[in-house]
Structure 1
Amino acid sequence: MMRALRTPVGAVGATLLGLVLLVAVLAPLILGDRATAVDTDDLLAGPSAEHWFGTDNLGRDLFLRTVVATRLSITLALAATGIAVLAGLLLGSLPWLLGPRLGRPVTALVNILVAFPGLLLVLCLATVFGVGARGAVLAIGFAGAPTFARLCQTLIAGVGSRDYVAAARIAGVGRVRILLRHVLPNIGEPLIVNATIAAGGALLAFAGLSFLGLGVQAPAYDWGRLMQDGLAGIYVHPLAALAPGIAVVIAGLAFNLTGEAIAGALGVTPAVGPRAWSVPVRTAAPEMPAPAEETVLDVRDLAVSFPGPSAPATPVRGVSFSLRAGESVGIVGESGSGKSLTALAIAQLVEEPGHVAGGVTFCGTHLQDGGDHDDLLGTSMAVVFQDPMTSLNPAMRVGPQLAEVSRFHQGLGRREALARAVDRLRAVRLRDPERAAHAYPFELSGGMRQRAMIGMGLMGTPRLIIADEPTTALDVTVQKQVLALLATVRREHGTAILLISHDVSVIGEVCDRVLVMYAGRIVEEVAAADLRDGARHPYTRALVAAVPSMTTPLDEPLATIPGQPVDPAAVPPGCAYAARCPLATDQCLTEEPVLVDGVACWRAGEPLPSELEKEARV
């Protein structure tokens, strides 16, 4: 805010706005009686030293009336703006609360109203609500609601895709509470900025309605009413109509300049666009055999697709695997191979228009049966996202965020839940858990935030922790500490770990098994101990070779994988890796290999040309 006031636009706007508000408060108290005083001996007088703007047809001082009218004009404009913001916030939130089927008609209605000319909408509503100040406030307020509704839809959709909202959903927090606690506090700044700018427009609209006789009625008066009264003698006595018009311009300019300055300082763009919140669309789970009793997670033929311009894109294609209690399984692959989307589908976080097919069984419950599994997911599954800064709500302190899990799923009171949050922060080895619980996320380091996210998962009794690249944003030292913490949680609580990373060396250190994904499929499953020397798929061996070690020759270029990953919307026939594989044959280009004995490759285990060259040099 102070940065905005330091700019020339901000300084001028804030000064003007401060003066306008000061006049609105003090003028009726000091000058109210003088402004209504009738002087029949001085009717329709011109400007003079005694009456700066002259007098009206009852001899009342026009300058004093213009100044005193500031309060009513500003009050009515702010009231209309408040109605527009509240109504727009309600309309903009409904798609989030109602879901896609009931939310789409609301979005369509908002888009239609936004396309309708604003002035005509105001006049139409003014005839509905009736003539007078109250009707004009309602007309202008509800006419401005569609613009704020579309803004709120866009902002809510943006914030709703953040990791901390996904974490709250995983914790089983309801949509209404997520909206109130996690979404609305984080869209406050752009709403305030746009409301400030809209207040200037509301001021002008209200003056227009009063000028047309649809707004303030006598004996009350605002700037629009004064302009209407002075219109009859504008050619003889122009200041009678121009003076309140100038006041409208100055006040509107004050609101607009202040709003634009704040928007520039905060990086907020006043323009808005339509966007609706949506929820996942999933197919029914196929018939699946009952997993073993010790199995925590069982995934069968998982597929995720999205509509495309010509054909659907399928970033995840037929993924199947399982995790036992206390087991740690890693998923590796290049960016775009489907690792994170697989994790989101397991956690039930794929949004429409995404389409999830296949079956996911967690703790013996089929998650694709369409039922409500918030209690199970909120207490038994934890998700640790890649960026610890976006994983926590920046508008809430860390402790209350963790405490939400215990308050909703364990029935604890506010004080007891916060005490457990402090205990969980202590359990993840935070040095000063009490201070961390009362801190905002930006007050913690990256490693501390990531530990807090793990602590959030431990608020319940997690059977599974899905860690989606939890160390990518951290330095090497903190990375080692977080991985050690995950290993400790696994050892002490028997928690299964699904660790997603593009770093083969990290996966090899902390996991029992490794799943290698390429083009949305698992192309190899290998024991972590055999990852470096026992991998058989050419892609897995290329990933391992691309990681430098202490024995990598300094005078040779680093190993890379030629070509580009496959476009999910245009997966070629045969093996998806064939175009980049030095061992590819005609069979690889036409027939897609299936996963047999832990590898999907027609030439599994055959030496690569680079390996033969290395052996020849030795």
Structure 2
Amino acid sequence: MQGRWSRVVRTPLGLTATALVVLVIALACLGPVLWGTGADAVNTDDILALPSGEHWAGTDNLGRDILLRSLVAARPSILLALAAIVISVVIGMLLGAAPFVLGRRTGRLVSAAVNIAVAFPGILLALFFAVVFGAGATGAVLAIGLSGAPAFARLTQTLVAGIAARDYVAAARIAGVGRFRVLFRHVLPNIAEPLVVNATIGAGGALLSFTGLSFLGLGVQSPSYDWGRLLYDGIGAIYVNAAAALAPGAAVLLAGLAFNLFGESVAKGLGIPVGFGLRAPATTRAAAVPEPAVHGEDAREPSDDVVLDVRDLEVTFPGPTGPVLLVRGVSFEVRRGEAVGVVGESGSGKSLTALAITRLVADHGRVDAARLDLLGHDLLAPDTAVRRRLLGTSLAMVFQDPMTSFNPTRRIGAQLAEVATHHQGKTRREAMARAVDRLAAVRIPDAEARARQYPHEFSGGMRQRAMIGMGLMGKPALIVADEPTTALDVTVQQQVLDLLAVIREADDVALVLISHDVTVVGEVCDRVLVMYAGRVVEDLPAAGLATAARHPYTRALVEAVPDMATDLTRPLATIPGRPVSPADAPPGCAYADRCPLADARCRAEDPPLVAAEGSGHRVACWHAGEPVRPTEDLVETVESL
């Protein structure tokens, strides 16, 4: 971090801006001390004197030196402007973080209020609040502070939304960490830089606005004075003594330029977007998703060894023409020590199913199910301390991208230890010892030293193993791994998969492995769920994935993966067409347009997921198990016609 800031200062613009800011701050600190007595000295024999060697900018109507008064006025002008920007920052942060803390409904009202306020020009808001609070320094500070808060709230809201989507925030929520703690420990530290940069630029704007209010008579009142008040006094004599207005005007220009240039140079050097003061149009909020009908209660009680019980899971999001059902009617069980794989193309609903299970679906989405139980506890029940503790200790989530799985501003060990201190009542020392032990358990060498390092000091495979270690801080009964090997090379992929297998066997932990690679799922899992267009189309034992698959889509997925026996002289097998968008799902079977076995019934009726031959095998297809004619035969048939 220190190196990044030093690079900013070494640039010509950064060095110039830094020097100007230091000069302005020094002037504010030392001005009253050095020139306070001379600035207040009244000399009736030298009233309204023109600039001279004794008075470089002349004197006012009481014979006081205008230049000295301009130098002394630096302190109140800058202090009042900084007070106003602090108010803007604090209120803006509160309003911007409200949607994250308060949830969807209340947060939506706050966002709507911010959108309305942002639509008004800042100067109009400042004048409105100045009239409300009355003339004077206090009223002007409040007016400038409140008028700048909406733009800062918009910036904060955007930054918070970006960080809230990161995996390490989701991991903290799975661990049962409260929203306020997540906000202060994981979100705000990661948006500190852009907030500071934009606040610096905002200080220049606040200074100009405060000067304007004082010039209009709504700010500092006589006998006190700031640059705006001096500008007001000097403008009356501008045709006689232009320096009376130019001196405070130049001071305002210099100070405002210093803050703005410094903020711009830091933003450019650090690559931070500058958003303060930008009046973006109010965004159109998506309509709320109506309450879907609640499914009837499933009469069957779960077995004692069932870790996860899912019945008729549905996930709905608002769309441009109405609610869109992205996950529909998903039902399955995961027992102790069992590994269940979920496969399918991108957009099939795999990851969204995992997010629904872990209760991480975005606020504008809705999760509904006849049953969604973890160890017999209803995950759809209202949020309580008991449920947070359950999620934090009995459920572990391994995310797809190891780079975003950890908070980059905190050490690895501290992030793992947070689970133990928050849920297990351990002291910091005990929690850190547990974190080191868990890092060693997931085969991270020199775990004690590594615990003191930051995420960027870990390799991709080590970050993924550390993420698994975080899940093992408690005693998880279920691990949900959402494509945990996607961003890793093949060697590290195998290491991560072997680690998951060892953990599963050692502690009888259930595993839900989501992947687009049917080969990986077939090797690691006991059972496979194949998803297409948001629903499960086949549920079969992993051992029969290559030989016993009955759904045409499952067989197409298997055939699309080359192996050592693949004929290199022929084109690789592919699935024709593109996956169906859930928003445009056709009637009947969603796979019909890509299926070589589809007929009129397939395009009219959606097949139910029913038990096939033998136990533990379900398939949703009107032509389950029927052979698919080879592509060459189809081509010959078409040519003969």
Distance of 1:121 and 1:369 partners within structure 2: 44
Corresponding residue to 1:366 among 378, 381, 385: 378
Corresponding residue to 2:478 among 464, 482, 505: 464
Distance of 2:287 and 2:481 partners within structure 1: 25
Residues 100 and 278 of structure 1 are in contact (CA less than 8 Å); yes or no, is this contact kept in structure 2?
A: no
Distance of 1:11 and 1:279 partners within structure 2: 50
User: Compared with structure 1, are the counterparts of its residues 371 and 263 closer, same or farther at alpha carbon in structure 2 (3 Å cutoff)?
Assistant: closer
Q: CA deviation at 1:186?
A: 1.2
Corresponding residue to 1:4 among 5, 8, 21: 8
Distance of 1:108 and 1:591 partners within structure 2: 43
Corresponding residue to 1:287 among 297, 311, 314: 297
Identical positions, percent? 63
Residues 286 and 319 of structure 2 are in contact (CA less than 8 Å); yes or no, is this contact kept in structure 1?
A: no
Is 2:597 the partner of 1:588?
Answer: no
Q: Hey, what does 2:591 align to over in structure 1?
A: 577
Q: Which amino acid aligns with 1:132?
A: G
Residues 43 and 58 of structure 1 are in contact (CA less than 8 Å); yes or no, is this contact kept in structure 2?
A: yes
Is 2:541 the partner of 1:531?
Answer: no
Distance of 2:392 and 2:22 partners within structure 1: 49
Residues 282 and 368 of structure 1 are in contact (CA less than 8 Å); yes or no, is this contact kept in structure 2?
A: no
User: Compared with structure 1, are the counterparts of its residues 371 and 246 closer, same or farther at alpha carbon in structure 2 (3 Å cutoff)?
Assistant: closer
Deviations 1:470-503 (A, max 9, x none): 0101111111111111011101111000000001
TM-score, with structure 1 as normaliser: 0.95
Q: CA deviation at 1:94?
A: 2.4
Deviations 1:413-456 (A, max 9, x none): 22211111111111111102112221111111111111111111
**Matched position secondary structure for 1:209:** helix
Residues 286 and 318 of structure 2 are in contact (CA less than 8 Å); yes or no, is this contact kept in structure 1?
A: no
Distance of 1:35 and 1:487 partners within structure 2: 79
Distance of 2:349 and 2:174 partners within structure 1: 20
Distance of 1:339 and 1:440 partners within structure 2: 31
- What is the correspondence of 1:607-618 to structure 2 with a 5 Å cutoff? 607-610=627-630
Distance of 2:632 and 2:525 partners within structure 1: 30
Q: Hey, what does 1:405 align to over in structure 2?
A: 419
Q: CA deviation at 1:285?
A: 6.4
Q: Which amino acid aligns with 2:205?
A: G
Q: CA deviation at 1:284?
A: 5.4
Is 2:460 the partner of 1:446?
Answer: yes
Q: Which amino acid aligns with 1:148?
A: F
**Matched position secondary structure for 2:73:** helix
Residues 284 and 368 of structure 1 are in contact (CA less than 8 Å); yes or no, is this contact kept in structure 2?
A: no
TM-score, with structure 2 as normaliser: 0.91
Corresponding residue to 1:174 among 154, 171, 178: 178
Deviations 1:88-118 (A, max 9, x none): 1122222322223333332232223222332
Q: Hey, what does 1:141 align to over in structure 2?
A: 145
Q: CA deviation at 1:330?
A: 0.4
Is 2:114 the partner of 1:110?
Answer: yes
Q: Hey, what does 2:317 align to over in structure 1?
A: 306
Q: CA deviation at 1:7?
A: 4.5
Q: Hey, what does 1:35 align to over in structure 2?
A: 39
Distance of 1:20 and 1:587 partners within structure 2: 79
Residues 315 and 568 of structure 1 are in contact (CA less than 8 Å); yes or no, is this contact kept in structure 2?
A: yes
Q: Which amino acid aligns with 2:516?
A: H
Distance of 2:268 and 2:422 partners within structure 1: 39
User: Compared with structure 1, are the counterparts of its residues 156 and 11 closer, same or farther at alpha carbon in structure 2 (3 Å cutoff)?
Assistant: same
Q: CA deviation at 1:324?
A: 0.5
Deviations 1:60-80 (A, max 9, x none): 222222222222211111111
Distance of 1:524 and 1:600 partners within structure 2: 6
Q: Hey, what does 2:508 align to over in structure 1?
A: 494
Q: Which amino acid aligns with 2:374?
A: F
Corresponding residue to 1:503 among 512, 517, 525: 517
Residues 104 and 364 of structure 2 are in contact (CA less than 8 Å); yes or no, is this contact kept in structure 1?
A: no
Q: Hey, what does 2:535 align to over in structure 1?
A: 521
**563-572 vs 371-380, greater mean Cα deviation:** 371-380
**Matched position secondary structure for 1:258:** helix
Q: Hey, what does 2:615 align to over in structure 1?
A: none
Distance of 2:589 and 2:267 partners within structure 1: 51
User: Compared with structure 1, are the counterparts of its residues 279 and 501 closer, same or farther at alpha carbon in structure 2 (3 Å cutoff)?
Assistant: farther
Q: Hey, what does 1:230 align to over in structure 2?
A: 234
Q: Which amino acid aligns with 1:607?
A: P
Residues 278 and 351 of structure 1 are in contact (CA less than 8 Å); yes or no, is this contact kept in structure 2?
A: no
Is 2:263 the partner of 1:259?
Answer: yes
Distance of 1:331 and 1:72 partners within structure 2: 65
Distance of 1:438 and 1:482 partners within structure 2: 22
Is 2:48 the partner of 1:44?
Answer: yes
**Matched position secondary structure for 1:481:** helix
**259-268 vs 418-427, greater mean Cα deviation:** 259-268
Distance of 1:514 and 1:578 partners within structure 2: 22
Residues 43 and 64 of structure 2 are in contact (CA less than 8 Å); yes or no, is this contact kept in structure 1?
A: yes
User: Compared with structure 1, are the counterparts of its residues 38 and 99 closer, same or farther at alpha carbon in structure 2 (3 Å cutoff)?
Assistant: same
Residues 95 and 278 of structure 1 are in contact (CA less than 8 Å); yes or no, is this contact kept in structure 2?
A: no
**Matched position secondary structure for 2:54:** coil
Is 2:400 the partner of 1:380?
Answer: no
Q: CA deviation at 1:278?
A: 13
**51-60 vs 497-506, greater mean Cα deviation:** 51-60
**Matched position secondary structure for 2:44:** coil
Residues 164 and 391 of structure 1 are in contact (CA less than 8 Å); yes or no, is this contact kept in structure 2?
A: yes
Q: Hey, what does 1:212 align to over in structure 2?
A: 216
Is 2:174 the partner of 1:162?
Answer: no
Is 2:628 the partner of 1:599?
Answer: no
**Matched position secondary structure for 2:619:** coil
Q: Hey, what does 2:639 align to over in structure 1?
A: none
Q: CA deviation at 1:361?
A: 1.4
Q: Hey, what does 2:69 align to over in structure 1?
A: 65
